[in-house]
Amino acid sequence: MSVYDFKVKNQKGEEVSLKDYEGKVLLIVNTATGCGFTPQYEGLEKLYEEYREQGFEILDFPCNQFFRQAPGSDEEINQFCSLRYNTQFPRFKKIEVNGNKADPLFKYICTQNGKYKRVKWNFTKFLVNRQGEVVARFEPTEKPESFENKIKEELAK
């Protein structure tokens, strides 16, 4: 099994197969617009701009599960991120990442790498290699620029 076996919903509620991203290095992130870590969008966008031509994608999954820090609609969240941080990477429908209603993708990736079997907070980041395997997990306190070399390593493989 790999992340490519999952389907998610885009902002319009349409099903998207992660098979569409097969062969790319992915950074899967649960985000929130009203969190102390929200400025990480800037660093994420810089990574995206730098490496997307080499096969790097960021998949952004807004989540309102942690102290309701992503309260807006999917459209409002997208507008905020686009206008405030000029983000261009794909953003999907708001989801839950823990508990009984957790999205199946997040249930899976949480069990693949790291000592935690659940998402601790907003801006937990999962690095996925070109084969669809989770190869690293970065906690919310880890800024995007701190793991740039790990992304470059995966892109070089």
Active site residues: 35
Taken in order 32, 38, 42, 43, the sign of the CA dihedral is: negative
17: DSSP letter: E
Structure-token match 């400025």, residue found? 39
Residues contacting 84, CB < 8 A, separation 6+: 41
DSSP code string of 79-126: HHHHHHH---S-BB--B--SSTT--HHHHHHHTTSSS-SS--STT-EE
Query: Cα separation of 64 and 22, whole Å?
Result: 28
